[in-house]
Every structure is written in C-alpha cells, then in structure tokens.
C-alpha cells in the first residue's frame, strides 16, 4: 500500500514538472485567467494529495 502511494506522489510530481516545462516553453499570448486557473488546480490537487497521505499514515499507525 505505502509503496503504491509513494509511486502516485512521484507521478504527480512528474506531472507538475511537465506542466511547468510546458508553461515555460509557451510564452506566446498567455492569459492571466488561465494561469490563475492552473495555479488553483495545482493547489487543490496538492492539498487533496496531502490529506490523502495524512489519512493513509493515520491508518498505518492505527
């Protein structure tokens, strides 16, 4: 279980890196609204993953 969770986290981190690279490459006609939406999505996903990890750790301890 724990190994799978770690793999999921690593995959998410890789996805984040890919998104950042894409942003850096495309610097033509960027809208602030789109950037804000991406930031919000990233924050929500990271917070949800942290909550899931905390729940998993609690179950492991119990």
Asked whether the beta carbons of 21 and 61 are under 8 A apart, the reply is no
**pLDDT by residue (tens digit) across 24-51?**
555 566 677 877 888 888 888 888 888 8
pLDDT band at 2 (very low <50, low <70, confident <90, very high): low
- The mean pLDDT value of the chain amounts to 77
At residue 5, the pLDDT reads 77
At residue 26, the pLDDT reads 59
- The overall pTM is greater than 0.85: no
Question: How far from each other are the two terminal CA atoms of the chain, in whole angstroms?
Answer: 15
Asked whether the beta carbons of 58 and 1 are under 8 A apart, the reply is no
């Amino acid at each position: 279980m724990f190994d799978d969770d770690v793999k999921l986290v690593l995959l998410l981190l890789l996805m984040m890196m890919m998104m950042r690279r894409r942003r850096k490459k495309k610097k033509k006609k960027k809208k602030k609204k789109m950037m804000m939406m991406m930031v919000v999505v990233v924050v929500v996903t990271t917070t949800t993953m942290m909550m899931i990890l905390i729940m998993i750790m609690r179950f492991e301890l119990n």
